[in-house]
Homo-oligomer: A and B are copies of this chain.
Amino acid sequence: MSEIKRVGVAHRWCAAASFGRIAFIGGHTARETRGLTVTEQTAEVLRLLDQTLAEIGCTKADILGAQIILSNMSMAAEMNEVWDAWVAPGHPPARACVGAELGKGLAVEITATAAVRNQEASLDGLV
């Protein structure tokens, strides 16, 4: 039976939790670019997301679903420009984008689900 694997574990949350062949990735937000433009924050958030994906054995081409929260939908075009340059060609996720209130100074938050396709999991006869 598969076990839950968590990476980036703090008391309050983890960065991602995988179970068998599915991973749930928590809300990623800017650290160094907090308070800066949505363009800069989106670039950092996607870099952080790439790092978390790598820690659970995934790449951006394995993302199944993504939810993007913008602090204001007027920033959608700028966010999308960074997203479009980042997304794995031919492997874009099912995506939703809405505007909602984020923590102070944050312009964008991204959560995702991903397929885990490493060998260890495949031995489980799983997904």
Q: What is A's interface to B at a CB cutoff of 8 Å?
A: 1-2, 4, 6, 9-22, 24-27, 62-65, 67, 69-70, 72-73, 76, 80, 83-84, 87, 89-103, 109, 111, 113, 115, 117, 122, 124-127
* Given A1-B122, A15-B94, 6 more pairs with CB closer than 8 A: A11-B84, A12-B80, A72-B101, A96-B109, A100-B101, A126-B126
Contacts A22-B22, A126-B126 hold; do A98 and B100 have CB atoms under 8 A apart? yes
Contact between A96 and B73, CB atoms less than 8 A apart: no
Min CB gap A121→B, angstroms: 9
Min CB gap A122→B, angstroms: 5
